[in-house]
Amino acid sequence: MHKNERQTLIKQIITQYTIRTQEELLKRLQKEDIAIAQATISRDIRDLKIIKTIDESGRPKFTLYDSTQKQNEEEQDKLINLFNDIVTKIEHVQFLTIIHTLPDNASLLAAMIDEVHLPKVKCTLAGFDTVVLIVSDETHAIEMENYFNEIWQAQTNNQLES
C-alpha cells in the first residue's frame, strides 16, 4: 500500500473510531490487513498533524488537527471581544445590517468582520463610527442583526452578572 493510501485510511480510522494510542491505531490497521512498523505510524501521525485532544469523558484521543478551524475560532473570538468593546447600536435597513461603533472604530470592526468571512456578508463598508454590512436580501440582514445582537446581549448579561 502506498503512503497516500495508508494515510487516507488512517484519517478515516481516526475520524470513524475513538483511537487513544498508537497501538490501537496499529491494531485497527492490522484489521485492514495493513502491516507497518511503529516508526511508520509515528511519521504518519506527524505528517497528518494528528493531535491528542480530550474527549467528553475526559480521556485523551487522537484527532485530526484543523488549523483553519482553529484560526477561524480565534478570529471569531477576537471579533466578539472587539464587538463588545466598541459597538453602540445594531439595526437593519432592507438588505443592509448597520452597526454603530464608538467614534473612529468602524474600520477596525469592518476589517475584523472581513477576516472572519461570515458567509452571508457580501461586503463591509466603514465610516467614522458606522459599519454597513451588505448581504443578499432582507432576510439575511435580519439574521446578521440577530447574530450580532446575540453577541452583544451575551456580553451585556455577563457584565450584569459580574
CATH number at residue 146: 3.30.1360.40
DSSP 8-state code for residue 60: E
What pLDDT sits at residue 89?
A: 94
Same domain, yes or no: 50 and 19: yes
* Cell (9 digits) for 72: 477561524
Same domain, yes or no: 76 and 154: yes
Same domain, yes or no: 145 and 86: yes
Q: What is the CATH number of the domain that holds 39?
A: 1.10.10.10
Same domain, yes or no: 85 and 129: yes
pLDDT 10s per residue in the chain (162 long)?
Answer: 788 999 999 999 998 999 999 999 999 999 988 888 888 988 998 888 888 877 777 778 888 876 555 566 677 778 888 888 899 999 999 999 999 999 999 999 998 888 888 888 999 999 999 999 999 999 999 998 988 888 877 655 555 555
Per DSSP, the residues of 82-150 read HHHHHEEEEEEETTEEEEEESTT-HHHHHHHHHHHT-TT--EEEE-SSEEEEE-SSHHHHHHHHHHHHH
Range of the structural domain that residue 14 is part of: 3-65
What pLDDT sits at residue 100?
A: 96
Same domain, yes or no: 56 and 111: no
What pLDDT sits at residue 129?
A: 96
What pLDDT sits at residue 70?
A: 59
Same domain, yes or no: 76 and 41: no
Same domain, yes or no: 42 and 87: no
Q: Which of 47, 65, 83 is the last residue of a domain?
A: 65
Same domain, yes or no: 147 and 95: yes
d(CA 84, CA 71): 20
Same domain, yes or no: 77 and 23: no
What pLDDT sits at residue 51?
A: 84
What pLDDT sits at residue 155?
A: 59
What pLDDT sits at residue 153?
A: 72
Same domain, yes or no: 55 and 76: no
Same domain, yes or no: 38 and 101: no
Same domain, yes or no: 123 and 100: yes
For residue 6, give Cα distances in angstroms to 39, 46, 125: 14, 14, 48
What's the total number of domains in the chain? 2
For residue 71, give Cα distances in angstroms to 67, 115, 116: 6, 10, 9
Q: Which of 15, 41, 65 is the last residue of a domain?
A: 65
Instruction: Residue 90: name the closest of 113, 119, 66, 61 by CA.
Output: 113
What pLDDT sits at residue 52?
A: 81
What pLDDT sits at residue 31?
A: 92
